Structure 1
Amino acid sequence: MKHLIVYAHPNPKSFNHAILETLQGELLERGHDVRVRDLYKIGFNPVLSSYDFEMLAQGTVPPDIHEEQEHISWADVIITIYPVWWTGLPAMLKGYFDRVLTSGFAYAYGENGPEQLLKGKRGVFFTTQGNPREVYTASHMFDAMKKTTDEGIYAFTGIETIDHIFFTSVPSIDDEKRREYLEEVKSFVHTVF
């Protein structure tokens, strides 16, 4: 199986990076093909510009967008790893989705409304938060975040969300709890793939 990991955290010493390393290692160990797009490392430009609109309107996909679309086209599974900042996606990742999941590539508008052009692909979200699980549960924030990403991005384009895994209280937990979280990542890979 071919996995594209879209990773969006600027700190290579972050817990998000530990998730990335664990996930990539487990998938490779099980014989899967894996590509990683570390958005900060590759210097991805997240700003959707008037140039992008002009090029796309002319039927030309800007080269950096085209490259990312090629990775998405290649993948069977798209796995996204990111920290939740202000109850949403980091600007880098939001910009990635804004620029890469374009009309004509990820979706189109037909006579009967939107058409999903990425059907047949599956997706997973791994996210980290600073607050305790109880805070997000009480405020229904998990549901809101899933609505935005699982439905608003993946389902809209036809990607079937396998799971959205939330790791909470990351800045305040101890290393033992972080190891437990990483074991959850390994268990997920073994169970699902």
Structure 2
Amino acid sequence: MKHLIIYAHPNPGSLNHHLKQVLTEHLWESGHEVEVRDLYQLNFNPVLSIEDMVGQRKGQVAEDVKQEQAFITWADCITIIHPIWWTGLPAILKGYIDRVFSYGFAYRYDQGVQKGLLTDKQTVIVNTHGKSHTEYNEIGMDKALSLTSDKGIYIYCGLEIKRHFFFDKADRINADTIERWTKQLKETF
């Protein structure tokens, strides 16, 4: 199977980086093909420009966007790993989605009806956040996060969500918790 990992965290010492490394190694050891797109390491330009917007409607995208779209087309499974910051995606990942999940590539409208174009691809989302599941549940943030990312982005574009991990209290974890999360991640694949 061909796995694409889209990763967005600037700190190579972070829990997110550890989870990316563990998953990458696990997939390789299991005989899968793996490509990792580390958005910070790539210095990906997240700014959707007027040129991007005009080009998308014409089916013309910048070279950096074409390259990322080629990786998405290639993949059977897309895993997106990032922290939840300010109840959402890191800016670099939001900009990646703005530019790469473009009209005509990730979705289109047929006679006014939206159609996701990234079908037949499994998606796993791995998020870390500081609040507890209980705190997120009490304020409805758990539902909001699922609605805005799962339905508002990934399902909208035709992706099939295999699993969405919300690893909570990630800023105060211990080795046992990391081991448990690592096991859960490996079992998913």
Shorter chain as denominator, the TM-score bin is: over 0.9
Query: What residue ranges of structure 1 are gaps of 5+ in the alignment?
Result: none
Query: What residue ranges of structure 2 are gaps of 5+ in the alignment?
Result: none
The alpha carbon displacement at 1:180 in A equals 1.9
The alpha carbon displacement at 1:58 in A equals 4.3
Tell me the number of residue pairs that the alignment of Structure 1 and Structure 2 aligns: 189
Q: Quick one: distance in 2 between partners of 1:30 and 1:90? A: 30
Q: Does 1:105 align with 2:78?
A: no
What is residue 92 of structure 1 aligned with on the other side?
Answer: 92
Letter in 1 for 2:88: G
Contact 1:78 1:124 in 2 (8 A): yes
Percent of residue pairs bearing the same amino acid type: 44
Q: Quick one: distance in 2 between partners of 1:142 and 1:188? A: 21
1:29-48, aligned counterparts within 5 Å? 29-48=29-48
Give the match's secondary structure for 2:41. coil
1:160-179, aligned counterparts within 5 Å? 160-179=160-179
Q: Quick one: distance in 2 between partners of 1:177 and 1:159? A: 29
Q: Quick one: distance in 2 between partners of 1:127 and 1:9? A: 11
Give the match's secondary structure for 1:81. strand
Give the match's secondary structure for 2:187. helix
Q: Quick one: distance in 2 between partners of 1:131 and 1:151? A: 22
The alpha carbon displacement at 1:160 in A equals 0.6
TM-score normalised by structure 1 residue count = 0.94
Letter in 1 for 2:94: K
The alpha carbon displacement at 1:59 in A equals 3.6
TM-score normalised by structure 2 residue count = 0.96
Letter in 2 for 1:78: I
